[in-house]
Amino acid sequence: MIDDSEPSTPTIMAGGPGSGSGCRSGGYESLGDSAMPASSSHVEHLPGPKVTRGGRAAWRLAAAVAGARIREYCLDVDSEAPGGARPTPPTAKHQVATDRDPSRAHWMELFFDLIFVALVGQLAHGLHEDPAIPDLLLFIALFASVWWSWVNLTFAINVMPWLTRRRLALVMLAAMFALGAIAVAAPEATTERAWLFAAGNAALRLVLLLLWISQSWGSGTASRIRVTAYNGATAALWFASVWVPAPWNFLLWGLAILVEVVLLVASSQSWANRVLANLNVEHLSERFGLLVVIVLGESVLAIVVALDEVWTTEAGLTAILGLGTIALLAWSFFMYGTETMRNGLEGLRVAGDFRAIRDTVGFLPFLIVVGVTAISGALGTAIHHPDEPLPLASGISLCGGIALFYLTNAIISVRFGRPVGGVLRWALPALVLTALLGVAAALLPAGATILCAVAVLAFIVGSAELSDRRRLSAA
């Protein structure tokens, strides 16, 4: 079922440590009062005669100068430079911070993710007990807005390696207060607390606005217009909606997000080149991977809470099956996804394919996280009512969540350049089995449906393991 020439499971959003390459490798690390390229091993292992200590110092100095030149051209591509003039060298604020490793997620970023997952839990609360279709649609709509905010902040931090540890901490703290307001408002985001939901989103856009002003305000008029429109104008729309009655305030919310999406899709190639020059694949893949881990953990917490509320034998057995469902998703994530995103993004970065990076970072992971969260909601409902068939919305959440997990990973695999035939070998069986699970959900009690879900996921994972074993034996 899996192409032996490719990794044997779907692309799971995950991160792992690794070294950068290309333009970004022109960064610097502190070494006393001097500077040298972050990877000096390329200098010390040059072929040729033995190099003395003084010779190595000369090589390092020469490499530092060369790295600075490369970084000039990679970081500062200004579409407004007249007559193809040489770009202005980056100022000191655009150098790599020496008190943190920009290729790794900082602890304050992980703390921010905990607030984000608390917000997701607030939004998904209505999916855990007898939800209706409108509850599911409302969750997806509200989650889309907060996901978009998370992606924007994560991406901004990623392409700003000059942020020192303390500056980054201040940014994340400010963003946490804004996100905390959104989390408090989430249960009544469309009624009494809509104003707070909007105010939190407006504050988050202001944080982003200040970040982008410090990053690219000096890059020309076009950059200033883009920054002002992307975060300044949208912050104004969110802020204005505080005083606008429903349903017109929701239209302003949608318009604000639409403006940001359109500006991103219509971004010029020169702006994309500047972004690609600073893009840190290791940091980006680690951030997304850790977020998925935390969302899986939140699903486990939801199962435990549901069982605590309904302490019966049937509920306990269903909870065990629910943990098995999450564990099988986590198995796919941990066993096969650690390097996939990093390698895929690195290939896209080297190829200069900004659109594919945009899709695999900004848009498609939303469907994976929504799918896992929807599955969590369905499991909570099943634990509360194990002897009754799942409500329609919960059945859609369970089967649709699993389908989204595998379908989205299939699309991401193709965007990363995997052969379509190899992707279809595992994607089609997974989707067919999930469709059959949907039929079971309409006919069987909830506990039996979760048992079928475990069987489906076990078959998919088991097939991948067997394919891996055959591939390794053939090698």
What HEC string does 240-264 produce?
HHHHCCCCHHHHHHHHHHHHHHHHH
8 A C-beta contact, residue 397 and residue 127: yes
pLDDT at 469 (0 to 100): 83
391 vs 86, residue with greater confidence: 391
Confidence check: pLDDT of 377 > 50 = yes
Report residue 218's pLDDT band, with 50, 70 and 90 as the boundaries.
low
Confidence check: pLDDT of 349 > 60 = yes
* Average pLDDT score, the chain: 80
pLDDT at 190 (0 to 100): 92
Radius of gyration over every alpha carbon of the chain, rounded to an integer in angstroms: 24
User: pTM (2 decimals)?
Assistant: 0.77
Q: What is the pLDDT of residues 50-109, one digit of tens each?
A: 444 444 444 344 444 444 433 433 333 333 333 444 333 333 345 777 788 888 889 999
390 vs 33, residue with greater confidence: 390
Report residue 337's pLDDT band, with 50, 70 and 90 as the boundaries.
low
Q: What is the pLDDT of residues 268-280, one digit of tens each?
A: 677 777 778 888 9
Q: What is the pLDDT of residues 91-102, one digit of tens each?
A: 334 577 778 888
Token pair, residue 430, equals 């997974």
Q: Letter for the amino acid at 343?
A: N
Q: What is the pLDDT of residues 109-128, one digit of tens each?
A: 999 998 998 898 888 887 88
pLDDT at 223 (0 to 100): 76
Contacts of 105-108 with C-beta under 8 Å, sequence gap 24+, read 105/15, 105/283, 105/286, 105/287, 105/290, 106/165, 106/168, 106/169, 106/172, 108/168, 108/169, 108/172, 108/173
Question: Among positive and negative, which fits the CA dihedral 94, 99, 104, 107?
Answer: negative
Residues 6+ positions from 414 with CB-CB distance below 8 Å: 420, 423
| Overall size of the chain counted in residues | 475
47 vs 303, residue with greater confidence: 303
pLDDT at 85 (0 to 100): 40
Confidence check: pLDDT of 444 > 90 = yes
Q: Which helix (H) or strand (E) holds 30?
A: strand 28-31
Residues 6+ positions from 442 with CB-CB distance below 8 Å: 389, 395
342 vs 378, residue with greater confidence: 378
Report residue 45's pLDDT band, with 50, 70 and 90 as the boundaries.
very low
